[in-house]
Structure 1
Amino acid sequence: MRNRRGFLAGLVAASLTPRLSWADAGAPAFLSAGRAPDGAYSLYGVNHQGRPVFRIPIPDRGHAAAAHPDRPEAVAFARRPGRFAVVLNCVTGAEIARLSAPEGRHFYGHGVFSPDGTTLYATENDYEAGEGRIGLWDVTGGYRRMGEVPSSGVGPHDIRLMPDSRTLVVANGGVETHPDSGRAKLNLPVMQPNLAYLSLEGSVLEVVQMPPEHRQNSIRHLDVRGDGLVAFAMQWQGEETELRPLLGLHKRGHAPQKVEGSEAEMRGMKGYGGSVAFFDGGAQVAVSSPRGGRVQLSNVTTGRIAQSVEVEDVCGLGLLGDRLLTSSGTGQLQWIDGAALSLTNIAWDNHLVRVNAG
């Protein structure tokens, strides 16, 4: 990981190199928030060997990040209901900008860049109205806020760019929150999550809801296959005795598909789906559960759980080559087959965010 000498070398490189790339930041494969043994929170770059290649302090606990498609810049988002989002130069460690959610708004922990890197789309909460928003931030204008569009739901969390590069998919979790109430969930009896497909300009293209009996199954995190199939991880907000699937699949123009298994397999997740990721060429999909201490692997064609793998305090999932990587709060980065990639002293937070270096 870059030390002070490496940091200074990065400053020199920044002054001499006309265009920096992710290679100048140590060629990270992933970004992840984490907590060091001294309690300090940072955004880390993690390389293909599972080693941190940079560490940049952030104001408080982070959740996820957005990696710029061309430049070695990252936006680190606060864990809900935090109000900070910091833009970081991953070569020098400098803070480029700090995004402040407008009055009456807070961030929801995720964002994504437009394909050309000129716009950042961030999931936000209009907490007085109890409605979701997608904040639009002008990257070329120094991350100036340009405006916002409705997310077409309540509690938007994850947001992804679809393979057509013209469409966004938003996980509207359905859970209303307010900063004055911390992480309390204010509308569980009437919540209604959905998947919303929006154009880059904010037009609503399609909104998809699960059947009524799944109304309290909060859609939280997403992955998208190359053909546009969306996998979504859910978190059950109803009675613990009730059993619901925590993984779904959706293709635009079709009804959503539940992914299910035996009662024992489903209860083992303890009602909590964390990260979700396609692997095995898109033939399988994985969902993690830090509460259940496991990752479930499912067959996309059959919609059935095929295997559960126990991993203590696991949440992050990421595809590295053709293998699935997990990260956990224990500091472990390991392959889904249990083989260790590396063991760090960092308590990894929720997600491994892929760096698609331009």
Structure 2
Amino acid sequence: MTSRRAFLAALMAVAAPKPSWADAGSPRWLACAREADGGFALFGIAGDGADTFRLPLPARGHAGAAHPTRPEAVAFARRPGTFALVLDCATGALIRQLTPPEGMQFNGHGAYTSDGEILYTVEQRATDSRGFLGLWDAAYRRIGQIETGGIGPHEMLRLPGGASGDVFAVANGGIATDPSDRTKLNLPDMAPSLVYVEGDAIAEQVALDPALHFASIRHLAQEDGTLAFAMQWEGPADRIVPLLGLHRRGAAPILASAPGPEQALMQGYAGSVAFSQGEVAITSPRGGRMHRFDAQGGFLGATTRADICGLAPCPGGFLTTDGGGGVLRVTEGHARPLGLRPRAWDNHIVTL
């Protein structure tokens, strides 16, 4: 009898439909925010800008990683952080709290492999900010790590698979920070880089001209084989520099800027980057602006919005969020509000 019951239970488990993102309200995006009462949460956002779920966080979240099939998301602490929460977005249950190995810190971003079997987390060693990718299996057990070949890595992005499987791009920001308070320790010697990781090794590494070594490479987006990277300038405040780069494997990077006076309004800071249907955009919460470019780096125009930062592709243009609670769709440079929420959205939107 026991064997029969076990067999029937196993059969039912196989036959039962596996949970999907539809069970979490079919969100199109995920984003973290600070709420009006000072608490923090992760939200699912529908195509019309409405909330699909709200899951509380113990502290400020930065970005997240969404499982490719299961309604699971990892919410990362603001860097440098010591927690990452794996959440069931359909039920609200905490699946696992991840803690980096002793002496390591999470840096706010991560990504799954295309089959969802391995989670990569962006990390740095606390003592010297040396970069690593932490590897976690499907049960969220630590199984290894890979060096990123630089200091202070920030965002990573899974790219369309290569001949040997998944390829990941990693933005090494180049900034060493104090492990307790984020004080920047090495600005005169910064060396940002962009790397491509295949398997357990760096397959390609790209550096900027030494004259731009103060341009910290921070955030990434990709479309049709082109990788876009957003930068933050740590050099002299009166110098106007590009904040967007475009790169194709094996080629030199292309740097893109708005005309001088408009570029100066970005205040040397790009907070997010996204592609959408042949256009690429960056945002600056400091400058209250979004800049749009074509796929070759030609400037298309600016959209103004106070404290704008979150950015993702959506049909016809871009979805943006801001520190005032706004959710907007930007089409051909024109912003249309989709909602105003009683919260301050954090820097990033994760596309499902």
Instruction: Determine whether 1:215 maps to 2:213.
Output: yes
Instruction: Determine whether 1:232 maps to 2:229.
Output: yes
Aligned to 2:153: 156
Instruction: Determine whether 1:177 maps to 2:167.
Output: no
Secondary structure of 1:91's counterpart equals coil
CA distance in 2, matches of 1:240, 1:88: 41
Give a deviation string over 1:226-284, Cα, whole Å, max 9, x none.
x22000000000110112100000001000110023211111100100110112x22x2
What's the TM-score once normalised by structure 2's chain length?
0.92
Secondary structure of 1:351's counterpart equals strand
Name the aligned partner's letter for residue 292 of structure 2. L
Instruction: Determine whether 1:294 maps to 2:310.
Output: no
Aligned to 1:326: 320
Secondary structure of 2:127's counterpart equals coil
Aligned to 1:341: 338
CA distance in 2, matches of 1:129, 1:242: 29
CA distance in 1, matches of 2:145, 2:241: 34
CA distance in 2, matches of 1:338, 1:67: 27
Aligned to 1:259: 256
CA distance in 2, matches of 1:238, 1:129: 21
What's the TM-score once normalised by structure 1's chain length?
0.91
1:147 Cα deviation (Å)? 1.2
1:127 Cα deviation (Å)? 2.0
CA distance in 2, matches of 1:286, 1:58: 29
- Higher mean Cα deviation, 74-83 or 259-268? 259-268
% same residue: 47
CA distance in 1, matches of 2:263, 2:317: 24
Aligned to 1:167: 167
Structure with the bigger percentage of strand: 2
Q: Is the 8 A contact 2:195 2:206 kept in 1?
A: yes
Alignment of 1:1-358 (within 5 A): 18-139=17-138, 142-164=139-161, 166-180=166-180, 182-199=181-198, 201-225=199-223, 227-279=224-276, 281-282=277-278, 284-301=279-296, 303-336=297-330, 337-355=334-352
CA distance in 2, matches of 1:92, 1:273: 35
In the alignment, structure 2 segments of 5+ residues that lack a partner are: 1-12
CA distance in 1, matches of 2:88, 2:193: 34
1:17 Cα deviation (Å)? 5.6
CA distance in 1, matches of 2:16, 2:272: 36
Give a deviation string over 1:81-135, Cα, whole Å, max 9, x none.
1211000000110100000011111000000000000100111001224310000
* Corresponding pairs, count: 333
Secondary structure of 1:338's counterpart equals strand
CA shift in 2, pair 1:17/1:48, >3 Å: farther
Greater relative CO (CA pairs within 8 A, separation 6+): 1
Secondary structure of 1:152's counterpart equals strand
CA distance in 2, matches of 1:81, 1:307: 34
1:185 Cα deviation (Å)? 0.9
Secondary structure of 2:63's counterpart equals strand
CA distance in 2, matches of 1:241, 1:94: 49
Structure 1 segments (4+ residues) deviating >3 Å: none
1:321 Cα deviation (Å)? 2.1
CA distance in 2, matches of 1:54, 1:130: 35
Q: Is the 8 A contact 2:128 2:176 kept in 1?
A: no
**Aligned-CA RMSD value:** 1.4
Give a deviation string over 1:156-179, Cα, whole Å, max 9, x none.
100001112521100000011132
CA distance in 1, matches of 2:310, 2:258: 22
